[in-house]
């Protein structure tokens, strides 16, 4: 029971670690930056793993990379605009333009590699 409580607490904390984007602020937040956008849903178990991995990646990421989150259930228009069909999906933007995406669970080490490839 203690492990379940800790896992739930960690999931709750991870969901607030990065700024959440909306349709209204999406374009202005990614413009002129190197950005990874995590498209997730609270009900998605693999999304929780990606959230944890993004927290670990945040410690080792290059300084010129920012991470944002988009709640699929609340901001579906963003997901549809970029063709997101599966969760979790990470979108990589350079100067406001989509340059790459990744579907499924991805490790912090692979995130570092992909950020070096894309930015």
d(CA 40, CA 113): 21
**In 3D, which of 67, 66, 27, 52 has the Cα closest to residue 108?**
52
Q: From the candidates 10, 44, 98, 112, give the one annotated as an active-site residue.
A: 44
21, 35, 37, 47: the catalytic one is: 47
Tokens 């991805």 locate to: 106
* Residue 84 annotated to the active site: no
Name the burial class of residue 44, with classes exposed (0-12), middle (13-18) and buried (19+) by CB atoms within 10 angstroms of its CB: middle
Q: Are 111 and 53 in contact (CB under 8 A)?
A: yes
Contact 85, 109 (CB under 8 A): no
Q: Is 85 a catalytic residue?
A: no
Hey, which residues are catalytic here? 44, 47
């Amino acid at each position: 029971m203690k492990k379940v409580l800790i896992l739930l607490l960690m999931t709750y904390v991870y969901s607030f670690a990065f700024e959440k984007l909306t349709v209204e602020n999406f374009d202005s937040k990614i413009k002129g930056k190197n950005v990874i956008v995590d498209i997730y849903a609270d009900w998605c178990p693999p999304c929780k793993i990606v959230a944890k991995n993004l927290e670990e990646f945040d410690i080792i990421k290059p300084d010129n990379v920012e991470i944002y989150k988009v709640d699929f259930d609340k901001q579906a228009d963003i997901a549809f605009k970029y063709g997101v069909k599966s969760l979790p999906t990470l979108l990589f933007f350079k100067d406001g333009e989509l340059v790459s995406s990744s579907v499924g669970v991805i490790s912090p080490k692979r995130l570092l590699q992909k950020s070096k490839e894309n930015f």
